[in-house]
Amino acid sequence: MGAESSKKSSPKASAPTKVHIADQEITWTNWYQHVNWLNITLIVAIPIIGLYYSMYTPLYRKTAIWAVLYYFATGFGITAGYHRCWAHCSYTATLPLKIFLAAVGGGAVEGSIRWWSRDHRAHHRYTDTDKDPYSVRKGLLYSHLGWMVMKQNPKRIGRTDISDLNEDSVVVWQHKNYLTVVIFMGLIFPALVAGLGWGDYLGGFVYAGILRIFFVQQATFCVNSLAHWLGEQPFDDRNSPRDHIITALVTLGEGYHNFHHEFPSDYRNAIEWFQYDPTKWFIWTMKQLGLAYDLKQFRTNEIEKGRLQQQQKKLDRIRARLDWGIQLENLPVMEFEEFQEQARNGRALITVAGVVHDMTSFIKDHPGGKAMINSGIGKDATAMFNGGVYNHSNAAHNLLSNFRVAVIRGGCEVEIWKQAQRENKDVEAITD
Amino acid sequence: MGAESSKKSSPKASAPTKVHIADQEITWTNWYQHVNWLNITLIVAIPIIGLYYSMYTPLYRKTAIWAVLYYFATGFGITAGYHRCWAHCSYTATLPLKIFLAAVGGGAVEGSIRWWSRDHRAHHRYTDTDKDPYSVRKGLLYSHLGWMVMKQNPKRIGRTDISDLNEDSVVVWQHKNYLTVVIFMGLIFPALVAGLGWGDYLGGFVYAGILRIFFVQQATFCVNSLAHWLGEQPFDDRNSPRDHIITALVTLGEGYHNFHHEFPSDYRNAIEWFQYDPTKWFIWTMKQLGLAYDLKQFRTNEIEKGRLQQQQKKLDRIRARLDWGIQLENLPVMEFEEFQEQARNGRALITVAGVVHDMTSFIKDHPGGKAMINSGIGKDATAMFNGGVYNHSNAAHNLLSNFRVAVIRGGCEVEIWKQAQRENKDVEAITD
Ligand code: HEM
Ligand code: HEM
Ligand SMILES: [Fe+2]
Ligand SMILES: [Fe+2]
Ligand SMILES: [Fe+2]
Ligand SMILES: [Fe+2]
């Protein structure tokens, strides 16, 4: 089978098939072919034009408020609609809500639901790999804009299952009529509202239309860039997603992105009440209004397990870096007599829990004083050390491991055993 | 031996020996005997008198500055002198520095070095027990003032080794001449400086003397109260000591008290450069001036070990509270054929790593979609789950344990083994 397929592909490999432009090097002669001119127009050129016109267009208070409101509406179209409803099915929207989200989401000018969700599922499934359409490993700017502004080989992007979207009539309709939706919801509708409402067609077009598009785009693009670059990783640090309040503020609550990549089908991004996640509040409100149902949520138990394991990972890393003394199995074995002998001859040896410690360098530093520690020399000080005289702190226990020099044959009960033997009691002699 | 000593003590126990006042109940007729009137005078009455006089004493700028300076000097007498030098021997002071510290420490009016250090050593050795002279377990107010204001049975307080202090001539001299030292350094000296310096004898007496004593006392008493009550426990939470910046600000840097109880002979209380520990800075400066040496310091490795273990303890507590699914040893064993049979009959069973999971309730919630998870039903999906199709997150691995229903006899390699058997390969039949 393997041989067969390689035979089949070999003529293909040798034939000079057309290499996709994205896989060719950028040169002085082909650079313009690398650029996605449509996207450059939508993302860069139009905002510049809008900025130019805004200098000649007075901004009325009503139009300003409308622009901000429409900014939030179209933002929710992306976050609550495109992202949490369609890409992740984290809740179910009723038809009226779907139509609303598909409309205002279209007004954000970020592609159709179908196209956006396909790419986004690939982003989750292949995060940080070459199959991730906006992998941050290719640079922050690439993940923010570059992937749209430069042409991409569509074959590179990981495949995902979007059969559910193909069965969703709202998604299919929006995809088919995408150009109409974009022009109407992106530009005409905001102009109409301002025009029919208070006669400011031009202001509505420039501020609630063009410039608002720019802000919504840049804000939501941050989910692909900033959210993979800035902040903490409380649930998993193997990949790039991160949690940060700044990202959340910019992206209507999509800033708890480490959580989100771990629990993508949770309708929440922020799990604490004090974190900023207006998209979650929006979805919750829709539920109260009967417009959304089946809000999915991972159990707190599962979330806490994830957090715990990540913290454990961090601790284990620290633990591995620290010095825990010579391993017991690498220490020489010493007879209790020899230990006593050496201690009598002036070596400051103390046995604790079957391990011989040379305390010479520590005696003068002992926080409990010289007399105390000296009283343990040549003895099995296990009981003294563990509360008999003083119940030493954790720090003291740790410190001990620095001074290990040997282990006692027979372990820490050796003294009791010797004692019993001397008294001719019935003790089995342990020899090995 | 044991029998002998109990015989000796028995007449003593039965004889009606005088019970110490502290061990008697407080009543309307004996309450005044419970009060330590000397300490009430030193700690409560004198400050009130000072406050009264201050209303009739103008406060000059020079005197105010002098009072603050002398506040710091006498404060360091306690923190750098009494506490870190004598009680804990965390560094060695030269004779001139010792004399300075014994003098200004006396000016703080908190008892002699010898008395203070003995109690403080008992406090460390018997922290939070009845033998602790100022155990916070008896109440915040008790640990702050109560233990001085009310009479204590001296026999109750734990015994400690102060042989080193009895050999220190400065300590012995200060103890013998304590009353002289207190009156001179506490009241006369501050009055003299202000009087001879700028003619303000009365101001020096009231502000740099009486009122300054009150502030220094209350501030340093906080080490016994606030430092055992407010803040975090990064090194050990079995006892009461805590770390808090507020305590540090009030006590010239003695606020990192959880660290201090764990590493009492470290000349530092704060280990980070950005934490407030002026006493540490003072000692360090003395070292630069050649007035102090042998500054003791625990290795960072030891400190980090302590911090790590405390964090581990916290994690282990959380871990114990969480639900980790049914233990593998409590699951029934299932033949692979039976597993396949049940799956064919409509039960959504999936095997991962030798464990059978019933995914019925989860299929509709699967973030990777229904199709994907359905493709694993009736199969050993270990490879699929672990990267073959999708490399699942940590959260997904955790989630699995919720759905455990059985373990496969022979474990997860059973399919490969069956396959090989069908193909009549040489595989040993494992039966048990
Ligand atoms: C054998 C190695 C020893 C080490 C590494 C060691 C270490 C320490 C350390 C780090 C402390 C500081 C406070 C604490 O941990 O709670 C301490 C305090 C103390 N140690 Fe040890 N110690 C040793 C042996 C002994 C022995 C044999 C005795 C008594 C027979 C003893 C008696 C004390 C006492 C009474 C204190 C309390 C001092 C105070 O807080 O004022 N130590 N020791
Ligand atoms: C057997 C129990 C299963 C559980 C508990 C489970 C759980 C999960 C969870 C929690 C996620 C969210 C993202 C992540 O963890 O990285 C996920 C995503 C995914 N799962 Fe599963 N899964 C199971 C089985 C399967 C199987 C058998 C397949 C494929 C044959 C599969 C394919 C996928 C894919 C492709 C994704 C990525 C979806 C995306 O992010 O867009 N899963 N799964
Ligand atoms: Fe992401
Ligand atoms: Fe997502
Ligand atoms: Fe303390
Ligand atoms: Fe202390």
Of A176-190, B2-16, B292-306, the poorest mean pLDDT is in: B2-16
Chain A, chain B: beta-carbon pairs less than 8 Å apart: 108
Query: Ligand 1 center to residue A392 CA distance, Å?
Result: 6
Taking all residues of chain B, what is their mean pLDDT, rounded to a whole number?
Answer: 89
Say yes or no to pLDDT of B429 above 50. Answer: no
Pocket test for ligand 1, best of A372, A384, A397 (most atoms within 8 A of CB): A372
Tell which residue, B353, B71, B87, has the closest CA to residue B215: B71
Burial A82-118 (b: 16+ CB within 10 A, else e): bbbbbbbbbbebeeebbebbbbbbbbbbbbbbbebbb
Q: In percent, how much of chain B has pLDDT > 90?
A: 73
Say yes or no to pLDDT of B117 above 70. Answer: yes
Ligand 1 in reach of A264 Cβ (< 6 A):
no
What's the CA angle centered on A75, arms A71 and A81, to 5 degrees?
A: 145
> Packing angle between helix A336-344 and helix A414-422, nearest 10 degrees?
100
Indicate the burial class of A430 (C-beta count within 10 angstroms; 0-12, 13-18, 19 or more). exposed
Q: Would you place residue A10 in the very low, low, confident or very high pLDDT band (cuts 50, 70, 90)?
A: very low
Which residue is closest in CA terms to ligand 2's atom 2? B400
Say which of A261, A308, A369 has its CB closest to residue B319: A308
Say which of A161, A371, A399 has its CB closest to residue B302: A399
Q: How many residues does chain B have?
A: 432
Query: Ligand 1 center to residue B133 CA distance, Å?
Result: 19
Q: Which residue has the tokens 């067969």?
A: A4
B65-75 residue pLDDT tens: 999 999 999 99
Indicate the burial class of A222 (C-beta count within 10 angstroms; 0-12, 13-18, 19 or more). buried
Of A77-91, A399-413, B9-23, B182-196, the poorest mean pLDDT is in: B9-23
Tell which residue, B75, B82, B118, has the closest CA to residue B218: B75
Shortest distance, CA B271 to any CA of chain A (angstroms):
15
Query: Ligand 6 center to residue B163 CA distance, Å?
Result: 18
Q: Is the distance from CB of A23 to CB of A153 less than 8 angstroms? A: yes
- The pLDDT value recorded for residue A420 is 62
Shortest distance, CA B22 to any CA of chain A (angstroms):
26
A394·B302 Cβ contact <8 A: no
Q: In percent, how much of chain A has pLDDT > 70?
A: 91
Q: Would you place residue A410 in the very low, low, confident or very high pLDDT band (cuts 50, 70, 90)?
A: confident
Averaged over B278-298, what is the pLDDT? 97
Q: Which two tokens stand for residue B252?
A: 């010239």
- Ligand 2 pocket, Cβ-based, cut-off 6 angstroms: A 121, 124-125, 264; B 350, 352, 357, 359, 362, 366-368, 372-373, 375-376, 381, 384-385, 389-390, 392-393, 395-396, 399-400
Q: Which two tokens stand for residue B358?
A: 């019933």
Name the residue of chain A whose CA is nearest to B124's CA. A368
A394·B315 Cβ contact <8 A: no
Which residue is closest in CA terms to ligand 1's atom 10? A396
Best interface-test mutation with A: which of B268, B301, B373 has the largest number of A CBs within 10 A? B301
Say yes or no to pLDDT of A175 above 80. Answer: yes
Ligand 1 in reach of A372 Cβ (< 6 A):
yes
Which residue is closest in CA terms to ligand 1's atom 18? A368
B348-402 residue pLDDT tens: 999 998 899 999 999 988 988 888 999 999 999 999 999 889 999 999 999 999 9
Q: What are the φ and ψ backbone dihedral angles of A293, each rounded to 5 degrees?
A: -150, 180
Q: In percent, how much of chain B has pLDDT > 70?
A: 91
- The pLDDT value recorded for residue A350 is 96
Strands A333-334 and A404-408: parallel
Q: What are the φ and ψ backbone dihedral angles of B314, each rounded to 5 degrees?
A: -60, -45
Which residue is closest in CA terms to ligand 1's atom 30? A372
State the distance between the two ends of chain B, measured CA to CA, in whole angstroms: 62
Shortest distance, CA B303 to any CA of chain A (angstroms):
7
Pocket test for ligand 2, best of A123, A125, A126 (most atoms within 8 A of CB): A125
Nearest ligand to the CA of A306 is 2
Q: Rg for chain B (alpha carbons), in Å?
A: 34
Which residue is closest in CA terms to ligand 1's atom 2? A400
Residues from chain B that touch A264, judged by Cβ atoms under 8 A, are 367
A38-85 residue pLDDT tens: 889 888 898 898 899 999 999 999 999 999 999 999 999 999 999 999
Indicate the burial class of A262 (C-beta count within 10 angstroms; 0-12, 13-18, 19 or more). buried
